[in-house]
Structure 1
Amino acid sequence: MNFRQTIFTSTLVIGTLSMTNAQEKTKPEETEVYTPIPKIVEAKALTTPAPSDAIILFDGKDLSKWVMTNNRDQTAQWTVANNEFTVNKKSGNIETKQAFLNYQLHIEWKVPANIKGKGQGRGNSGLFLASIGKGDDGYELQILDSYKNDTYTNGQAASIYKQFVPLANPTNKPGEWNSYDVIWTAPTFNDDKSVKTPARVTVLFNGVLVQDNITLKGPTQYIGDAAYRKAHGASPIKLQSHGDPSEPLSFRNIWLREL
């Protein structure tokens, strides 16, 4: 390669990199979508008892199966009462002590009847199907009061946050329980840490199919597009303390079957 060819190639590479950087999304609004709007469906939470081979992640008594995400030596500091537990906004996220690959998960959640706020500031939490780091790193199935509460549709209840809009909106009114039933297939990676098979997930929301064996683009990104940036294996399941001013969410009847 002669001098002119070298300069041309270098300029081309720099120009390509500049165009790539210019196209990067740098604001959260750039990954919000507002259509399609999922149809509203009336449905009730499935209070499904745990099968005989299930791992009981919450039995109504304590959070001994859960730890603080930012300090895994500390038992989860959320509040347990009346066979349910409630988000402690001051303590941070919690996650399971045990790590999992592929599984079937059942979880029930509700927002208070007197909840205030709107949009993303109304009962915001998240079920991270695989927690791959501190904070909000992982693959998030959104938890939000989406009963007569408008927001971007890839951020409403049962969305794969900022990736996939749910097929329907069967959210129950505040004060009533909701249920998620999840089939999770973890991603796999090659020896060079590239993606071998991406993650897949199916979700039923109050018994209604809302995510149909979709292939995830990568872990959740609040800003920018999702992508697989690091390899990982079995991972804990995480619940988010979002810290918004609305009244905290409650959870009950959480169990899992490894697949």
Structure 2
Amino acid sequence: MKKIYVLSACLLVSFVALAQDKIDPKLTEVWEPKVKKVVPGHNNSAPSDAVVLFDGKGFDSWTGKNDTVGWTLNADGSMTVKPKTGGISTKQKFGSVQLHIEWKSPIDIINKKGQKRGNSGVFIQGRYEVQVLDNNDNETYSNGQVGSVYKQSIPLAMASVPTGEWNTYDIIYHEPEFDKKGNVVKKATVTVLHNGVLIQDNFEILGPTVYRGKPSYKAHGKAPIFLQDHGDLVSYRNIWVRELK
């Protein structure tokens, strides 16, 4: 009986394979919708469909405390936090995005420790923080170190370049969804590559970043991207987003 069963199974497989060979392959070809053409960036330029938020020429896309930007515009095409002037936000509001941003810690902070060393943050929709920090030979709590979703998700790796060199974050963010009563029905998610290394893998964000206690969602729509003034001379450059529908 076992030999008959094996033989029958083999015949069935052969019959299915023969039947599939007779299927017109065009039946499984999909031609619509047409795929949008995007020209990739070269030499640190943004892709053709990106919204350029900072290219070193000025603060036209940004606002800050009292509707002004107090940060320093540098000759090398970067900008640097000016402590006590406050963080800066994009004038444009965004939902789901692919965000590219480059940052570096100041070289003269090597004697500082923990959270006092090159601290800043990229807040997506003004409320969900990906931590910026210099953790080279500088230990801090794991869910607050560089590349963490602050106080929520420990990064999968610490992929920083040496202090004073430029780091890159490439962030894929999908905004949360809320019902008519304001209850979250789909949490936000974030994927982060730090210098090309995957450090957050489609993490489901628990709610807006909080320093104390547990986060909880409140309904919101599109909102600005916010860069934090934490009192350290962190620099940023080459910032662009692609809106994800």
Q: Same fold (TM over 0.5)?
A: yes
Q: Which runs of 5+ in 2 are unaligned?
A: 1-42
Residues 1:232 and 2:217 aligned together: no
Partner residue of 1:113? 107
Runs of 4 or more, structure 1, over 6 Å off, are none
Please give the alpha-carbon distance, in whole angstroms, between the structure 2 residues aligned to 1:232 and 1:66.
Answer: 21
Aligned-residue Cα RMSD (Å) equals 1.4
Q: Deviations over 1:217-250 (max 9, x none)?
A: 101110011221x21000100000012xxx5010
Superposition deviation, residue 48 in structure 1? 3.9
User: What amino acid is the match of 1:51?
Assistant: P
Is 2:239 aligned against 1:254?
yes
- CA distance in 2 between partners of 1:183 and 1:175 (Å): 25
Residue 59 of structure 1: how far off its partner (Å): 1.1
Q: Is 2:98 the counterpart of 1:104?
A: yes
Q: How much has 1:130 moved relative to structure 2? A: 1.2
Q: Which secondary structure state, in structure 2, belongs to the residue aligned with residue 169 of structure 1?
A: coil
Q: Greater CA radius of gyration, 1 or 2? A: 2
Residue number in structure 1 paired with 2:49: 53
Partner of 1:134: none
Percent identity between the aligned chains?
A: 53
Counterpart AA for 2:81: V
TM-fit CA distance, 1:179: 0.5
Secondary structure of the 2:143 match is: helix
Counterparts in 2 of 1:170-249, with a 5 A limit? Answer: 170-228=159-217, 230-243=218-231, 247-249=232-234
For the Cα contact (< 8 Å) 1:198–1:217, is it kept in 2?
Answer: yes
Q: If each structure's strand is expressed as a fraction of its own residues, which one has the higher value?
A: 1
Is structure 2 residue 71 aligned with structure 1 residue 78? yes
| Cα shift at 1:111 | 0.8
Specify the alignment match of 1:157 in structure 2: 146
Distance 2:209 2:106 in 1: 27
Residues in 2 aligned to 1:149 and 1:166: alpha-carbon distance in whole angstroms? 15
Structure 1: runs of 5 or more not aligned: 1-46, 132-137
Letter of the aligned partner of 1:126 in structure 2?
G
Give 3-state SS (helix, strand or coil) of 1:164's partner. Answer: coil
Q: How many correspondences in the alignment? A: 201
Report the Cα offset of residue 208 of structure 1.
Answer: 0.2
Counterpart of 1:106, as a letter, is H
**C-alpha separation in 2, matches of 1:111 and 1:220:** 22
